Structure 1
Amino acid sequence: MHSQNSTTGTTGATATTDPAPLPVARRAADVPAVFAARFNTGQPRAVAEMYEPEAVFVSPDGTVADSPEAIARANADFLALGLPITVRPRHVHVAGDTALLVVDWEIAGTASDGRPTHLTGTATDVARRGSDGTWRYVIDRPAG
């Protein structure tokens, strides 16, 4: 896939660049950092690829998103802030192809609408290793 760069400064000429490949989680312990790297791109697709198709996302208010479209909408509110997320894993417990992750996270700064923003939480997540060897969320609960 190529994107066009229209800021070349010449008439009619454009350069193409390939986007950098997005990281993938090859170990359960990699899931939080890979999620943060993908989230910090601001690309909804990059975040969506962190979830299995049948995954669920439990919003801080307890609402359960149980489809890829609903999970994308749930993450859209966080992405719309235009701020990076930082993560600090507390625990990663692995049993075969399933892992329980307890992760402290923070989103802080001036949001895209100009509001000072400071969100923190401790997520309790379940991830699973797929047949391709990549770990993805099965259950994502940012509010623990």
Structure 2
Amino acid sequence: MKKDEEKLNRRVNMQNHELEQVIKNADRAINNEDFDHLMEFYSEDATLVVKPGTVAKGKEQIRRAFIAIAEYFNHSLIVNQEKMAIIETGDTALVVAQAQLIANQKDDSEFSMERTATYVFKKDSTGTWRCIIDNSYGAEIIKN
């Protein structure tokens, strides 16, 4: 019973899950505006919440959305995921992350925001995790 409890605690803590590095690599691609590389993290039919009420579907729309976001922030957006909780079942995982967004070259003012983001990942046929839902707004999407 003790081993089962330890195993459960490791799963609940979700430390050092491979998705942590996947997400850090995706953040690096966003920060470097390497949108070709960034698209490797998404499934073909992925959905990105651009802002509450607006989504981009599929890699081409998502790529265009990231280009527009970079332009909106005058190419100064830095994204970093602080803490993460990862809940996995089979080939699907829910990630809840403390996301920090900073932009110091925005036209109207400096921008900094912390969000509790939610992401859904699915392993593809090669065993590679792909983001299928990217919602950096988390539960904020249901608020008016």
TM-score normalised by structure 2 residue count: 0.71
Contact 2:20 2:84 in 1 (8 A): no
Cα distance, 1:112 vs structure 2: 5.9
The separation in 1 between residues aligned to 2:38 and 2:136, in whole angstroms, is 14
User: Stretches of 4+ moved more than 6 A in 1?
Assistant: none
TM-score normalised by structure 1 residue count: 0.71
Aligned to 2:3: none
Aligned to 1:34: 25
Aligned to 1:54: 45
Matches within 5 A, 1:43-122: 43-80=34-71, 81=73, 82-111=76-105, 113=107, 115-122=109-116
Identity rate, percent:
29
Gaps of 5+ in 1: 1-25
Higher helix fraction (1 or 2): 2
Cα distance, 1:132 vs structure 2: 2.3
Cα distance, 1:39 vs structure 2: 1.4
In the superposition, relative to structure 1, how do residues 77 and 89 fare at CA in structure 2: closer, same or farther (>3 Å)? farther
Residue by residue over 1:50-106, the C-alpha shift from the partner in whole angstroms, topping out at 9 and shown as x without a partner, is 110011112222212112221112222333322321112331011111100001112
Number of matched residues?
A: 119
* Paired residue type of 1:117: F
> What is the aligned-residue RMSD (CA, Å)?
2.1
